[in-house]
Structure 1
Amino acid sequence: MMRWIIFIIVYLLFTIYSFQAIKTITKQSWVHYLFIAIAVVVIGNFIFQFTTSSEGRVLSPAKSYAFGFLLAFMSLALVLVPILLGEDIIRGALGLYDKLVTKETFYLPSRRKFVSQIALGLAAIPFTSLLYGMYRGKYRFRVLNYTLHFEDLPDAFDGYRLTQISDIHSGSFDNKEKIEYAVDLINEQQSDTILFTGDMVNNKASEMIPWKDTFGRLKAKDGKFSVLGNHDYGDYVDWPTKEEKSKNLEDLKTIQKDIGFDLLLNEHRYLEKDGQRIAIVGVENWGKGGFKKAGDLKKASSQIEPNDFKILMSHDPSHWDAEVVNDDYHYHLTLSGHTHGMQFGIEIPGWIKWSPVKWRYKQWAGIYEALGQYINVNRGFGYLGYPGRVGIWPEITVIELKKGKKEA
């Protein structure tokens, strides 16, 4: 209860302070009332969504949108308040100077309109970006292509193409047409195999039922493989019984099978071509920082040869640094997801790649290399929490394997 009181007080203070910029710019009372009305609706909806009955740490679409609108509205305040506070400090200093030097009555200079205009102009950038991310950005799918070279790649797999998707989070979807477009886009890549690296749902297997037919259309001549992510286990739901939680996981496994995915639970499969083979290794979720550690790399690789060419599917990229890259076995390529790139950041290819998530995960988006091994961290297909994406768009990864050294 105390946390809610503190939160509401902070929200009110930020809102009142931001309101000063509106009052300085325009004297139109209807604009003032509109700002106040929006502030009340945003906080009221947020409180309602997050204080009503819950099944645990479950983020329903309604809760996600309540959070998204609060985040967008607060982004205004987070830009406005420092600028207005800076101006108030200057105004106060000028008034105090006049009082001490001229010995006149203390007079506080009025707010300058152009300062409020500049502040609102700057605040509009994150505000409109967050709204755009909720409206369009979350379905702005893009295909990223990489070519990776390996000297010990079997000759038969030179030019082999694989498509990776991750973090579907079907419980968040609200536009079937966009999802069908993305599935068609995956098929258009005509890769030899499709690899899904976990988090099919947000919380419950039932979230995927409306999307079974859509994702069942995914096609790859050498099959489709998957692993579990931290959200797939139902750990964030307050289940009435352990039996219901176990049934939920079994239901999800069945759904994955119905869709056509070969779910790898600390096990492996071989892809064979012209008498040669590569190993697809899949571990259950293994993550640092309080996430489930059900993954067993030794068990998953127990029946493959050390010299096999290996592609590892592991949902959480923290697994790579912690256990994979220094393992006695050489895992040529690891495929992960989980971070979503925080669904927020700035990316200009060849210039900048930044997101706050970099402070949590060393490998958070794209290709990384260490000790002759690669990891690709997919930015995610879906979204969770904030119901949108800004700068970090939903991703379909296509990786082509090439024999030999990369040309300089």
Structure 2
Amino acid sequence: MLRWIIFILIYCIFSVYGYQAIKTVTKASWFHYLFIIVALVIAGNFIYQFSLGSEGRVLNPAKSYAFGCLLAFMSLNLVIVPILLGEDVIRAFVGVYDKFISKEAFNMSSRRKFISQIALGLAAIPFTSLLYGMYKGKYKFRVLEYVLYFEDLPEAFDGYRITQISDIHSGSFDNFEKIKYGVDLVNEQKSDVILFTGDLVNNKASEMIPWKDLFGTLKAKDGVFSVLGNHDYGDYVDWDSPAAKEKNLDDLKQIQKEMGYDLLLNESRFIEREGQRIALVGVENWGKGGFKKSGDLRKASEHIDLNDFKILMSHDPSHWEEQVINDDYHYHLTLSGHTHGMQFGIEIPGWIKWSPVKWRYKHWAGIYKELGQYINVNRGFGFLAYPGRVGIWPEVSVITLKKGTNDA
């Protein structure tokens, strides 16, 4: 109860400043009432949704939208508050000066319209961006293509194309046609193999059932391979028993089998061409910072040779930093996801790539190279918690392997 009282108090304080800015800029009373109604509806829906029970600790779509609307509205007020608060400090200082220096009566001057206009103008940027992210940004799929060169790539695999997707998070979906567009986009790449690097669901395997047939249409000549992400284990649900949790994981494995995915559980496979081969290695989730550490690199690689060309699928990029790049086996290419690029950031190719998630993960989006090894951190196909994306769009990665060196 205390947390709701604190929330309501903070929300009201911030909303009062937003209301003052609106009232200073326009005298239209209907606009003032509209602001009040919106503020009440957003707060009321948030309190209602988060007072209800839930199947898991990860937000369902209704809770996500309640959170997203609150986030957008609060972003508006968060920009307004410091500007108007700064103006209040100046107004109070002038009033005190007049009282004690000029010997006049203490009087707070009225708010200046242009200050409120500046505040509202700046506040509109995050507000409209977050609304756009929920309306369109989350389904703004893009294909990112990379060409990576390896001197020891088997010649038969020169030009081999890999399509990677990650972090489907089917429990968040709410638009079949948009998701179908994304799935069709994956198939349109006509890559040799499709690799999915974990987080099929948010909480439970049952979230994938309405989407199973659609994602089962993903096809590639050498197959579709997958690994588990941290959300796939059911760790964010308070299960009635360990047996129920185990059954959930078994159901998720069965769903992937029915979709035609070859789920690698600390295992490896060989892809062969013209008498040559590359090794595909898949580990279970391994992540630092409190995440599940079921990934076993040694076990996954026990049937491959030190000199094999190796592609590793590992959901969490912290695994690459902590264990993979210093391993004697030299994993040429690692494919990860997990970070989502935080679903928020600024990316202008060749100019800037920034997201707050960089303070949590050193390798958070795109291609990185260390010690002669590459990792691609996919920005994710779906979304989680905040039901949108701003600046960090849903991604289909297409990686072409080339033999030789990149002399460009």
TM-score by length of structure 1 reads 0.99
Contact residue 166 and residue 196 of structure 2 kept, 8 A: yes
Aligned to 2:7: 7
Equivalent position of 2:256 in the other structure: 256
Cα separation, 2, equivalents of 1:184 and 1:60:
25
What is residue 399 of structure 2 aligned with on the other side? 399
Distance in 2 of aligned mates of 1:156 and 1:390: 40
The answer for the alignment partner of 1:39 in structure 2 is: 39
Contact 1:338 1:380 in 2 (8 A): yes
Q: Which residue of 2 aligns with 1:186?
A: 186
Distance (whole Å) between structure 1 residues aligned to residue 336 and residue 314 of structure 2: 5
Q: Is contact 2:226–2:263 with CA below 8 Å preserved after alignment?
A: yes
The CA deviation at 1:286 is 0.5
Cα separation, partners in 2 of 1:404 and 1:296, compared to 1, 3 Å? same
1:8 Cα offset (Å):
1.6
Corresponding letter in the other structure for 1:345: G
Shift of 1:97: 2.0
Write the deviation string for residues 54-91 of structure 1: whole angstroms up to 9, x where unpaired: 23413110000000000000000110001101111111
Equivalent in the alignment of 1:75: 75
Contact 1:228-1:315 within 8 A present in 2 as well: yes
Partner in structure 1 of residue 218 of structure 2: 218
Report the Cα distance in structure 2 between the residues aligned to 1:321 and 1:212, rounded to whole angstroms: 33
8 Å Cα contact 1:25-1:116 kept in structure 2: yes
Whether the 8 Å contact between 1:55 and 1:239 is mirrored in structure 2 is no
- Matched AA of 1:57: R
- How far 1:98 moved relative to its partner? 2.1
Counterpart residue type for residue 406 of structure 2: K
Q: Distance in 2 between matches of 1:78 and 1:287?
A: 33
Question: What is aligned with 2:325?
Answer: 325
Matches of 2:8 and 2:230, distance apart in 1:
32
Show the 5 A alignment for 1:170-319: 170-319=170-319
| Contact 2:339–2:357, Cα closer than 8 Å, also in 1 | yes
Deviation at 1:30, TM superposition (A): 1.5
- List gaps (5 residues or longer) in structure 2: none
Task: Write out per-residue CA displacement over residues 290-337 of structure 1, whole angstroms, 9 at most, x where no aligned residue.
Answer: 111111111101111011100000000011111101111100000000
2:162 paired with 1:162: yes
State the secondary structure of the residue aligned to 2:101. Answer: helix
Distance 1:3 1:298 in 2: 46
Structure 2 residue identity aligned to 1:359: W
- Asked if the contact 2:55–2:203 (Cα under 8 Å) also holds between the matched residues in 1, the reply is no
User: For 1:85-124, what aligned pairs fall within 5 Å after superposition?
Assistant: 85-124=85-124
Which residue matches 2:379? 379
SS state at 2:268 partner: strand
Q: Quick one: distance in 2 between partners of 1:298 and 1:385?
A: 34
Q: CA deviation at 1:225?
A: 0.3
Q: Which amino acid aligns with 1:16?
A: V
Shift of 1:265: 0.1
| Structure 2 CA distance for aligned equivalents of residues 51 and 214 of structure 1 | 33
How many angstroms apart in 2 are the aligned matches of 1:58 and 1:68? 14
Shift of 1:132: 0.6
Work out the percentage of aligned pairs sharing the same amino acid.
77
> 2:365 — aligned with what?
365
Describe the SS at the equivalent of 2:143: strand
SS in 1 for 2:400: strand
Q: What secondary structure, in the 3-state scheme, does the structure 2 residue paired with 1:23 have?
A: helix
* SS across alignment from 2:149: strand
Secondary structure of the 2:323 match is helix
State whether residues 230 and 292 of structure 1, in contact with CA within 8 Å, keep that contact through their aligned partners in structure 2: yes
* In 1, Cα distance between equivalents of 2:58 and 2:199: 14
If the length of structure 2 is used for normalisation, what is the TM-score? 0.99
CA offsets, 1:252-294, max 9 Å, x none? 1011011111000001000000000000000000011111111
For 1:266, give the aligned amino acid.
N
The C-alpha deviation readout for 1:8-57, integer Å capped at 9, x for no partner, is: 21111111122110111122222111111111111111111111122341
Q: Equivalents in 1 of 2:147, 2:228: separation in Å?
A: 26
- CA shift for structure 1 position 101: 2.4
2-side partners of 1:277 and 1:287: how far apart?
Answer: 29
Q: Residue 137 of structure 2 aligns to which amino acid in structure 1?
A: G
Paired with 2:272 and 2:367, the residues of 1 have a C-alpha distance of: 26
CA distance in 1, matches of 2:400, 2:2: 54
**Correspondence list, 1:29-68, <5 A:** 29-68=29-68
Structure 1 pair 188/56, CA: closer, same or farther in 2 (3 Å)?
closer
SS in 1 for 2:363: coil
CA positional deviation for 1:386: 0.3
Partner of 2:337: 337
Alpha-carbon offset, residue 100 of structure 1: 2.7
Secondary structure of the residue aligned to 1:55 is: coil
Deviations 1:116-151 (A, max 9, x none): 011101111111110110000000000000000000
